[in-house]
Structure 1
Amino acid sequence: MEGPSRRLFLQLGGLAALAAACAAPRAKATPENAGTFILLRRRWREVTLGWPGTFDPEREPYRTRLARLGAQAARHRDAMTPARRSLWPDLPFPSLDATPARLRAMARAYALPGTGLTAEPGLGTAVAAGVEHYVRHVYAADAEQTGNWWDWRIGTPRALLDAAVLAAPHLTDTQVSALCEAVDTFVPESRLDDYEGNSTGANRVDLCTVTLLRAIAGGDPGRAALAASALSPVFPYVTDGDGFYRDGSFIQHGSVAYQGGYGAVLLTGLATLFAVLRGTPWEITDPAAGTVLDAVDRAFAPFVHDGACMDLVRGRGIDRRSYGDHRRGREIAAAVLLLAETAPDAERARWRAMVKGWAVRDTAEPMLQAAEGAAQGATQGGDLAFHARLSAVLDDAAVPAAAEPTGHRLFPMSARAVHRRPGWCAAVSMASSRVAHYEHGNGENLRGWHTGSGMLYWWTTGQGDQYSDAFWPTVDPYRLPGTTVSTRRLPDGAGGEWGDTRPPAEWVGGATDGVCATVGQHLFGLESTLEAFKSWFFLDDAVVCLGAGITCRDGVPVETVVDNRRAGARLTVDTGWAHLDGHGGYVVPAGQSLRTLREDRTAAGVTRPYATLWLDHGVDPGMDSGAAGYVYHLMPGAGPAETAARAADPGWARVLANTSAQQGIEVPSLGVTAVNFWTAGRAGGRAGGLTASDPCAVLVRDLGDGTATVAVADPRRALDGLTVTWDRPVAGVTRGHPLLRRVETGARLALTFGGLADQEGASCQVIVRLGVSTA
């Protein structure tokens, strides 16, 4: 990117005055550290607004966007009418979000070039007066906190402090002191003493950001040091509660998988703080901070598909707006590119290629175009900088666009799984004694009841908007794809708020070798007597779905939703199979009656077409008849001929067991044998059958080169010892595992493991050499 022209520097002479004014130390600043706070103010502007250094304000689209920001700020300035109950007539107090946001937008127009108001004294004075007025009448040190705690401790102070830092030359010591006193009331230093309650995970990072801004505004080195040191509890891996887990899970609110909400906020906040504090006395040097770098690949990237962040890790935010998944994807991409600027070379190269791949493949809501549309700097502060960083990556021929990865990632600690194959991707969300069925709060996501009942998301090429385009307001909440549910009507917000909807299930998880997987959920319905055992076998071109032991006493029908696709495409239904044009196929073996429905659903003023396929298990299965079950295959991207051929080949996937004791399949063509052992026992015949001494998940895959992988896991995290037997001649073990205690080879393989309870549900993988031992 070419540098700004000499003419531009002449035009922006006001910025020099702004920087010089920043030299005046505040509060506890001393001559020795005054220069450090000048650096912090400059860094804050550079990192959060991208200026100087990230973009050329004379070039498009920045020129137009900056001019729009300036015009917007001028309107806000001219309309400001300080009164006892408002700062703007259309925003009556307390206006904890909108009024501080306007002040921040004005401050950004003051701090950025090309707005027509750059370093303009009248605008700076208006920002200072507005901050003073709001602090006096709303965010005062003696104000009574009402409504959501987040506004008082994070949202409002951050916006006010951001405005104060950007317009620093025009705030008097008295105005800064009043603002700092108010912030100290609601965000005292003691708030960062204990890592608990509302001071964990993303909330802790936000509180540290507010504390740093408070330090910059007031020239307080003590609070700057606290903002940096108080981040340390965020970095270590956790084994329960909020934070990052070793398997890549991220939990917030104690029980909600949240990479696409609080996790994205955390990543953005940490990337910002790392960059702002670099080279200062408070640079983040905690060795445990390396978990943040690991999290990009382990916790965030697996849940970004073609630029969109999957809804199964977005908590209550899924129904906020259409294309919210793509917006979160951009937020993660922006954080990754910012973090890359201070990361080691290997990570920097890999992440830039990864983000470029996301942007190239995001055709549903193109990433660069969407960033440009939001790059006015008013409410999305980082979009100008993100647009510039992303443009640089896209224009750099030396940066390849990384392809969508293939393979399987299992997240037992958050009851999630993601499976990728060429041309398609699938993911499942479950609930357990550790992970909520769903989260609602603040009036959001009141009908997300069944998202943890085994919802199976899937995408094929060109379908990046499947769950984006008004899906959540229009979909039937009782018929979410993949779920088994009681059709009992539930009230809005059924179950406790903030993720207090955990069922008693312990066996939730599975085993994977990184390519294929067996995943299972012992399902308990939300506010229902429903109980079921559900398994998914993620394979090369299909997901084989099994259900067993389905019982209920709610007095209503129970259904398993094979799919509920937002699509108006042609649906073909034939004996044993169905196909949805442009999407994929479904194989439903004999003995099951597949029901279908085509309908248009309207909500919130929009209408969307749906194709629904489900299996009806009748009223109260297991009461007057045996427990219900099902078997079906999902074939993403398959055509009708492929689907029909698979349906005509019942031996392709042999069901070894489908009961409340074991569920398993064998796929000879793939060399796969996989079983979820709900209880100890045996599944399959003598040749190739599997036996387990205790409940567990086992996946065996013959690699076709004389070797096989054996992956074993303890989803309940309860086993001190486990023995798994495979009735297949094995000559020896070529790669063991630290928890492997004993091996028996020969006519059959017996593996005994110890200490699985401490593995947090992770898979233990062993590679064996096939054949009969000569020993």
Structure 2
Amino acid sequence: MTNPWSRRGFLLTTGASALGMALASRASAAESAAAADEFDTLRATWRSLILGSDFNATAEPFASKLAQLGTTAGQYRSTMAPATGSLWPDAVFTDPEPDTDQESFGYSGKIQDSYARLRTMAEAYAQPGTGLTGDATLRSAIITGLDHLYNQVYNENTTRYGNWYSWQIGAPHPLLDVCVLMYDTLTATQIANYIRAVDHFVPDSAVGSYSGTSTGANRVDLCRVLALRGVVGKNAAKITLARNALSPVFPYVTSGDGLYVDGSFIQHSTIPYTGSYGAVMIGGLGMLFALLAGSSWPVTDPNRQILFSAVDNAWAPFLYNGLVVDNVSGRAISRGTSETLQHADHVRGHGIMAAIALLGQGAPSADNARWRAMVKGWMARDYYSPVLSDRSLSVPGLARLKAVQDDASVTATAEPTGHRLFPSMARAMHRRPGWAASISMANKRISYYEYGNGENPRGWHTGAGMLYWWGDTYGNGQYSDAFWPTVDPYRLPGTTASKKVLADGAGGTWGAARPDVNWVGGATDGTQAAIGQYLKGVSSTLMAKKSWFCLDDSIVCLGAGIKCTDGTGVESVVENRNLGATGTHAFTVDGVAQPTTPWGATTFSGAKWAHIAGHAGYVFPGGSTVKATRQQRTGSWSDINTGGPTTDFTRNYLTVWCDHGTDPTAGTYSYILMPGATTAQTSARAADTGWLTVLANTDNQQGIRVPSLGFTAVNFWFGGTVGGLTASAPACVMIREKTDGTAVICVSDPMLMQTSLTLTWNRAVSSVTSKPATVTSATTGSSLTLTFGDLSGTAGATQKITVNLG
């Protein structure tokens, strides 16, 4: 078939004004012809972006990927049965009277599912090595499917129902991709029909204001629709609109959706979403930058440098050994498959890595070189889920990542060490040689969890101080290997929670569940940190003060003021380790080995330390009564996601917790987590009673001192004196005394409320060598007194003061 959108056809169909200009002057005709050529070029560019380039279709990992694509497309072709209300019998998209909103959402979702299947078929038609490349029967089926969906449901006369996303993003994305892939086989009438439908559901007003569902990743997705509609329909105004509508995405925000100066990324107003919506945003921007580069519509907004900086400051901190941390992936943690090789946190991480590789093509060369080195390092270290074996990656994604791996000029970057706080989304990331950890919290601005569309109904306690950790060569399957469908949702590691039975979605949908608390955050010098959370339970009377002190080889965890009147027990979970389908890792308490077969809750009175072989050591300063159990738990993804597969998984868990009893009034706990420690290292730390001094562990303050590290830190829930520190108001204070006679004092206002603060350190200080503008006065001598001005506008950021010790 000849191209229905030939240069001559373009001039004849752009309207009377365009035709008039063409007749008026040869110059105008030449300009119009050039524009037509440019649309063709853009279409070819997009085709390359979604199909990939510079890969060997007969070599792995591409050969098997393409073969599987052909198999899947063949199955879709054989089962496609156009009928009223459906294109496939298992994807009915209309019901005149759905019983519930959720049912209506489901029907609208089948529209995007149907287009996605057509896109798979079109990709199999266009890609080499699928066994269906250029297949006439497949081509006919694709076009039949496009026309059927247009005639049945996705057209300019339909009023949308169910989920807005399906109509404005979920359906037009694959539809426009198919239009690009099948362009030369479609008639002008068909293309006009399809883009008319897109115009109906995604009008220019969809990006008229930066609000509602048109922010962050959603805005990027909408701009992709408008840009591709402009390319397919040869409409320069649509591409211009799409390009210009990206600009509100780039600047830093101080509330709501978007990127924050501290590296936080929020979507849905209150949900940390770096790993899910953030991945969509960076991937979508990379695609649009690449599409428009070198065209008449390049993205030149100088604020795009903020996005480039965010690769290092927002995304890289949450990638570890190829996975992206679950606590910045919202309800996406409930999305899994029945294929055990599909490890969700690694899958999301791999997608971000591919997006970074693509984004680098349009970034400054220094940024691109640094990112490729980071990507190569992540790929090399992902032993648990090798990147190029990831069946969820697209062929273009695989091609980009393989190109990085094969580039001998790129030297892989090692995992960095250090600490990053993200107060704007109540998250922390601690990295040490051999391991990394992350803490997730909730406050007035950040939800406990997100539940919606039937996804993640039991994520209630994921914001209750959950402490994640991974080893460099061990433990990477902790959250990857069917953790979320099998773990006890009341016993998430690091959390304090009431055993009160909660209904699915307790607290409300779409992040409605937020605690009425302000003191959540911490202070860090970039290496170590003090972090605290004033915790109130989800749909519960539970209250607690929780602190974490992140050190060189460990994290000291304190809890105090634990009270509840739910009429149920309350627990603080020291650990809940997923040992896999067959794991029987040895568990030792105070040198005594425990059974390797499942056993019920056992109490260990006065325990000094415990150890899980191949994982970590746990020290209980001064001794503590703890409980532990080894059990098998079974669940399926459908238990936590209405759209998930029903395949059951069984996993072995080893759980350690502090039991505060029923309705505690002043519960406490203290323990030291030592990732990767041996039994000898764990027992030695427990025996070294001078290593740690707990300065306070009350409802008013929590603090510690580690003399060997020169480390002192106090979370002042209220003003007061702890050890040698006195604060006039709530604050987080962390001090590191160095061997060169200097000290760094880190102070923050986690409440974002203090208009003044006075801090006194009962330590001789001879001079202050640096201080931020928030310090209005500093008095040195036999003690140090710092007076701070208004801290409420610092967004919880750490204020660093460097002094010379007396």
TM-score (norm. length: structure 1): 0.92
Selected match of 1:599 from 631, 634, 649: 631
Instruction: Please list, as runs of the form range in 1=range in 2, the aligned pairs for 1:384-399 lying within 5 A after superposition.
Output: 384-399=395-410
CA distance in 2, matches of 1:473, 1:49: 34
Q: Give a deviation string over 1:546-579, Cα, whole Å, max 9, x none.
A: 1111111111111111111112311111231111
SS at match of 2:474: coil
Selected match of 2:529 from 517, 533, 558: 517
Q: State whether structure 2 residue 585 is matched by structure 1 residue 569.
A: yes
Per the alignment, residue 294 of structure 2 pairs with 279
CA distance in 2, matches of 1:436, 1:753: 30
Q: Percent identity?
A: 53
Instruction: Please list, as runs of the form range in 1=range in 2, the aligned pairs for 1:535-546 lying within 5 A after superposition.
Output: 535-546=547-558
AA aligned to 2:589 is V
Instruction: Please list, as runs of the form range in 1=range in 2, the aligned pairs for 1:92-491 lying within 5 A after superposition.
Output: 92-94=92-94, 95-115=110-130, 117-118=132-133, 123-321=138-336, 323-370=343-390, 373-374=391-392, 383-460=394-471, 461-491=473-503
AA aligned to 1:612 is T
Relative to structure 1, the CA distance from residue 108 to residue 538 in structure 2 (aligned partners, 3 Å threshold; closer, same or farther) is same
Q: By how many angstroms is 1:121 displaced? A: 5.9
CA distance in 1, matches of 2:535, 2:68: 52
CA distance in 2, matches of 1:694, 1:93: 58
Q: Is the 8 A contact 1:488 1:556 kept in 2?
A: yes
SS at match of 2:458: coil
Relative to structure 1, the CA distance from residue 606 to residue 67 in structure 2 (aligned partners, 3 Å threshold; closer, same or farther) is closer
CA distance in 2, matches of 1:408, 1:20: 55
SS at match of 1:349: helix
CA distance in 2, matches of 1:415, 1:64: 42
Q: Unmatched 5+ residue regions in structure 1?
A: 1-13, 375-379
Selected match of 2:745 from 690, 710, 731: 710
Relative to structure 1, the CA distance from residue 573 to residue 690 in structure 2 (aligned partners, 3 Å threshold; closer, same or farther) is same
Q: State whether structure 2 residue 48 is matched by structure 1 residue 46.
A: yes
Per the alignment, residue 681 of structure 1 pairs with 720
Per the alignment, residue 636 of structure 1 pairs with 675
SS at match of 1:274: helix
TM-score (norm. length: structure 2): 0.88
Over the aligned positions, Cα root-mean-square deviation in angstroms equals 2.0
Q: By how many angstroms is 1:117 displaced? A: 4.9
Q: Unmatched 5+ residue regions in structure 2?
A: 19-31, 95-109, 338-342, 591-606, 637-647
Q: Give a deviation string over 1:330-371, Cα, whole Å, max 9, x none.
A: 11001000011111121111111111111111111111121x
Q: Is the 8 A contact 1:128 1:164 kept in 2?
A: no
CA distance in 1, matches of 2:144, 2:36: 25
**After the TM superposition, which segments of 4 or more aligned residues of structure 1 sit over 6 Å from their partners?**
17-23
* Bigger mean CA deviation after superposition, 387-396 or 114-123: 114-123
SS at match of 2:437: strand
Relative to structure 1, the CA distance from residue 65 to residue 599 in structure 2 (aligned partners, 3 Å threshold; closer, same or farther) is closer
* Bigger mean CA deviation after superposition, 134-143 or 240-249: 134-143
AA aligned to 1:57 is A
Count of aligned positions? 737
CA distance in 2, matches of 1:60, 1:476: 39
Q: Give a deviation string over 1:109-155, Cα, whole Å, max 9, x none.
A: 33334445555666445433321221111212122322211111110
CA distance in 1, matches of 2:658, 2:61: 52
CA distance in 1, matches of 2:406, 2:317: 25
SS at match of 1:756: coil
Q: Give a deviation string over 1:650-691, Cα, whole Å, max 9, x none.
A: 22111111112111111000000001111111111xxxx111
Per the alignment, residue 671 of structure 1 pairs with 710
Q: Give a deviation string over 1:366-417, Cα, whole Å, max 9, x none.
A: 11121xx34xxxxx5xx21221222222122321111111000001110000
Q: Is the 8 A contact 1:507 1:521 kept in 2?
A: yes
CA distance in 2, matches of 1:90, 1:133: 16
AA aligned to 1:411 is F
Q: Is the 8 A contact 2:530 2:549 kept in 1?
A: yes
Q: Give a deviation string over 1:255-277, Cα, whole Å, max 9, x none.
A: 11011111111111011111111
* Bigger mean CA deviation after superposition, 391-400 or 40-49: 391-400
Relative to structure 1, the CA distance from residue 60 to residue 481 in structure 2 (aligned partners, 3 Å threshold; closer, same or farther) is closer
SS at match of 1:109: helix
Relative to structure 1, the CA distance from residue 172 to residue 603 in structure 2 (aligned partners, 3 Å threshold; closer, same or farther) is same
CA distance in 2, matches of 1:85, 1:69: 26
* Bigger mean CA deviation after superposition, 81-90 or 569-578: 81-90
AA aligned to 2:222 is L
CA distance in 2, matches of 1:602, 1:423: 31
CA distance in 2, matches of 1:705, 1:393: 42
Relative to structure 1, the CA distance from residue 57 to residue 218 in structure 2 (aligned partners, 3 Å threshold; closer, same or farther) is same
Q: Is the 8 A contact 2:5 2:188 kept in 1?
A: no
Per the alignment, residue 759 of structure 1 pairs with 794
CA distance in 1, matches of 2:334, 2:72: 29
Q: Is the 8 A contact 1:23 1:34 kept in 2?
A: no
CA distance in 1, matches of 2:711, 2:206: 53
Per the alignment, residue 55 of structure 1 pairs with 55
CA distance in 1, matches of 2:64, 2:722: 66
Q: Give a deviation string over 1:449-497, Cα, whole Å, max 9, x none.
A: 1011100011123211111101111111111111111111111110110
